[in-house]
Every structure is written in structure tokens, then in C-alpha cells.
Structure 1
Amino acid sequence: MNLDPGVENLPYSCDIDVRDFVDIVSIMQQYDLGPNGALVMAADLIASKIDEIQNEVNRVNPDYLIVDTPGQIELFAYRSSGRFLIDNITSEEKTNIFLFDGALITTPVNFVSIALLATSIRLRLNLPTVNVLC
């Protein structure tokens, strides 16, 4: 499931796409917002459509649901709407997979910085976390 309303092209095909529920361009035009403000508003609008999104998950009925969150992690992890989505997308077990971008891990300081961000996200989302270097 793609949960990033601002992505233009996905490098994968997804069964559930939040862009079917929230249109970032319409939000910018309707509320006279720039891209960042529209992404913030979209996060809350996505949460307001949780029932529709859950119905789509139920329709697809996947064995596993991998949710790709926005690359601007603060839009998801640090807003109450992100926690709301985690709590309300029905699943027996949930795990966070945090991707360490190998291009950023070029020095020990960068590695520690990303590791601290991953820890902050783990604490914020209150989910078991698997860190993956890619």
C-alpha cells in the first residue's frame, strides 16, 4: 500500500494507493497551499478516510500488507494522524521496517544520526522495528 500522497511515480505496483483517496494537487489548489502544507493537510485527510482505506485492504485481503509511508518521515511518524493510521489499520501483527539509506551512511556520524532517527521513529510508533541497510 502506498501511503505517500505526493509521490508522482512509484518504482513498484501497489494494490492500494492513497492517491486514489487524496489528491495533493487538488489540496494545493483548494486551500492555496504549497507542496509541504498540502502534504501536512493530506496526512490528516488520509486519517479521516481510514474506513475507506480499511475497506480497500479488506477487499484486497493480502497475506501481508507492506505500507510505504512518505519519505518525509516527519509527516507520518510525528503527526497524530500517522499513529492513528497505525492503530486503525486492522492487522494481527505489525512491524516497522526502517530503511537506512546506504548513500547517507558514509561516515560514523551519519550512521549514528540515522540510527538515532530510527530509534526515535520506533519509540514514536511504538512498534517492533527491523532496521535494514539498503
Structure 2
Amino acid sequence: MRYAQLVMGPAGSGKSTYCSTIVKHCEALRRSVRVVNLDPAAEYFDYPVMADIRELISVDDVMEDDSLRFGPNGGLVFCMEYFIQNFDWLEEELGEGEDDYFLFDCPGQIELYTHIPVMRQLVDTLQHWNFRVCAVFLIDSQFMVDPSKFLSGVLSALSAMVTLEVPHINVMTKMDLLSKKAKKEIERYLDPDIRGILADGREGYFDQKFQKLTKALGTVVDDFSLVQFLPLDRSDEDSIDIVLNTIDSAIQYGEDLEPREVPELPDDDDDDGRDSGFPGEES
């Protein structure tokens, strides 16, 4: 069995920073984690990448092809569609192993998780290769500080969750960049009471024209407890540990590993062969 995190989220949500944080944290735990870059528009990494989609195809290469005439978004979609036609490249890069653990740093364009089946095809292929997959959807905590943006982020996360149909963990990133006041305010969004948040619509957060639609969407999310968030503070080892352990639990990482041998207990008999019993108890 092998394990994978699909690290997703909007542009600027901190996907590469998240991968760097998890890699360094696992190094401290003497645990092996490898990163695969699936963003053909990526530019820089501060951690080792074992496989890089840009070796197969990149957005720059596509945009420079005069016969295609794609812009950045069209070029990225073209790259990802080319990628799914060449999964043999990924299979070769991943190699064969047992108990391998990978982070897949994915592109940020939301259309890849909504009306284009690219990421779902990736999930299905990884599962066929005996991977347990968890979707890790990142949202910038600085983006989620008012109700309207929060609801937008919730619906984006929900869209990815419904499309991929795998264990799904939502993470609120960049908590270490918030002020003390903002950290206190954002606590209400981690395990949200959608009805309470929607009540803020009276203060002008939501367009009055769409009040009924907004209320209906929020009520569905609230009634079925569909979306919750884990806070990630890079400066807090406990915060990183909670996020990693939650994901590990979702994909049952470690349950198939061989248990450590239990050392034999010392003989409870006395030298004369009699049982010593409990303290204060006669033999």
C-alpha cells in the first residue's frame, strides 16, 4: 500500500509552502516523504522534488508554440490534459515501493476541480496503482476573514470534495501571519455555524438580491456538516502535527506497518521459586 496527499487550493493559498512545511516536519520525525510537482507553471521550490511535470510539459513551452496560441489559463489546461494522456511518465517516476508517502503539489486553477475531469482521472489512476489518497484543500486564512469570502471558500472546497470523492481535509493556512485580533475572529470559521455567519448579511456582507440563494447554500452546508477547517500555523509544531496526524488517520497511514516487538517482561518469581505477588500481599 502507498499513500498520497493531493495538495490543492486557489493560487496563493500556500500549497508549495505547505509542502515545504510538511517535508521539514517529517525530516525532524525521521519520516520519509517525497514531493511530486504537478503544476506546469511552477517556478521555484525550496525543497527537493522527486518528479516534476515540467520535465514532461510546461506552460511556457505551450505558450511559446505559435500553432496553439494559448494564454496562461488555456496553456495550463492543455498541459494537464496532455499529462493525463501520459500517465505512464508518472508511473515510471513514482517507481515501485511499499509504504511510500507522496505529496502531489497540484495547480491552483479551480476549473481543474469542477468541470474538467483531470484531477478525478488522476485520483482514479492513483487508486488503481494501490494508493490511498487524501485531498488536502488549502484556503488562505487572510482571505477568510469576512463572511462573503468565507462562503466562497467553502463552496470551492465543497466542489473539490464532491468531484474527487476521496477523504478530504480542509486546511486554513498562514495562521502565523494573522494578528492576535484576527486569530480570535477567525476561530468562528474553523468549525463554522453557517447560520450565525449568514446573519452578518444584515451588515452588508452579502448582496440583498441573492439573500435566499445564499441562505439556501449555507443551510445545506450547515445541516450536513459538510465543511470544517483545520488551522495551520507554521510556527507551531503542534499545529503541524495535528494537521499531519488528521490526514494520516484519513488514509489509515501506519495501520499496515509491522508493529514493534514487545520486550519480554522480567520473571515475577523469587529466587526460591515462589511467586512474589503484589506488594503487601502474602504469597
State the TM-score, normalized to the length of structure 1.
Answer: 0.88
Matched, 1:49 2:48: no
Q: Structure 1, unaligned stretches of length 5 or more?
A: none
Residue 101 of structure 1 aligns to which amino acid in structure 2?
A: D
The answer for the alignment partner of 2:57 in structure 1 is 22
> Structure 1 residue 73: deviation in Å?
2.8
Q: 1:35 to 1:62 in 2, by over 3 A?
A: farther
Distance 2:90 2:114 in 1: 19
Matched, 1:73 2:113: no
Matched, 1:107 2:119: no
CA-to-partner distance for each residue in 1:64-120, whole Å, 9 max, x for gaps?
A: 111111011323553122211111122431110111211211112222221121111
Runs of 4+ in 1 over 3 A off after TM superposition: 59-62
The answer for the alignment partner of 2:136 in structure 1 is 97
Tell me if the contact between 2:113 and 2:159 (Cα under 8 Å) persists in the aligned partners: no
Distance 1:11 1:70 in 2: 17
Distance 1:81 1:120 in 2: 14
Distance 1:70 1:60 in 2: 26
Q: 1:58 to 1:74 in 2, by over 3 A?
A: same
Higher helix share: 1
Tell me if the contact between 2:112 and 2:119 (Cα under 8 Å) persists in the aligned partners: yes
The answer for the alignment partner of 2:43 in structure 1 is 8
More displaced stretch, 60-69 vs 109-118: 60-69
More displaced stretch, 36-45 vs 105-114: 105-114
Distance 1:115 1:65 in 2: 26
State the TM-score, normalized to the length of structure 2.
Answer: 0.44
Tell me if the contact between 2:110 and 2:156 (Cα under 8 Å) persists in the aligned partners: no
Count of aligned pairs:
134
Residue 36 of structure 1 aligns to which amino acid in structure 2?
A: N
Q: Give 1 or 2 for the bigger CA radius of gyration.
A: 2
Q: CA RMSD in A?
A: 1.9
Tell me if the contact between 1:15 and 1:60 (Cα under 8 Å) persists in the aligned partners: no
Q: 1:59 to 1:5 in 2, by over 3 A?
A: farther
Distance 2:47 2:171 in 1: 19
Higher strand share: 2
